[in-house]
Amino acid sequence: MVNRRFTLPILAALPLAGFCSVAHANVFERSQNGNLVEISQPAWQTDRSPAGGGRYTPKAQPASEPSPSQNVVRQHIQATAARYGVDRNLLDAVAWQESRYNPRAISTAGAMGVMQLMPGTARQLGVRNPHDVEQNVAGGTAYLRQQLERFGNNVPLALAAYNAGPGAVLKYGGIPPYRETQNYVRQIMRRLSATSADRTGY
């Protein structure tokens, strides 16, 4: 996500200053020997124009250390979506775009886990271990739900806020003119369209 500063109440009771979900960065996972290895990136990774922040660079081989299977991660996504009243296909698409469901994903800006939460965001949302799938997905879902509520359940605007921050959406009165954010919203909406015909399971 774009590293922008703003203040936002979370879960109707927690005022936050300097709250930000994730930041422009390459995304890595930590291998068994402690080294960071760049992992697969979202489909729009080839767009490296400075106008969007240049968040991603080319793919590299993933680390060999095993991680929870995608099915396990998606089971957490499904359960959390139901708990927070967020469409599970939307949440699934965000998790895929952010990290390819990788709980060990780490960005160069410090964003972590399946939903790519920044450390400050994770703390404010009560996420003690950002690499724990259940905690990370719950935190990201709470934040996404807040954006949906803030922007009248307008999914593209909520996605733009998740990526660039609600302040940027309010400033521009819509999806900000950041190439990364526009591509981010486009890719997720495209993924939702592809899955809309089959919403009965994974």
Q: What positions carry a catalytic annotation? A: 98
Q: How does DSSP classify residue 43?
A: G
DSSP tally for the chain: helices H, then strands E: 7, 5
Identity of residue 68: P
Chain centroid to CA 43: how far? Answer: 14
Q: Residue 75 forms beta bridges with which residues? A: none
CB 187 within 8 A of CB 194: no
Long-range contacts: 178-181, Cβ < 8 Å, 24+?
Answer: 178/2, 178/51, 178/52, 178/53, 179/47, 179/49, 179/51, 179/52, 179/53, 180/2, 180/24, 180/44, 180/47, 180/52, 180/53, 180/54, 180/55, 181/2, 181/52
Q: How far apart are CA 98 and CA 137, in angstroms?
A: 11
Integer Cα distance of 115 and 186 in angstroms: 18
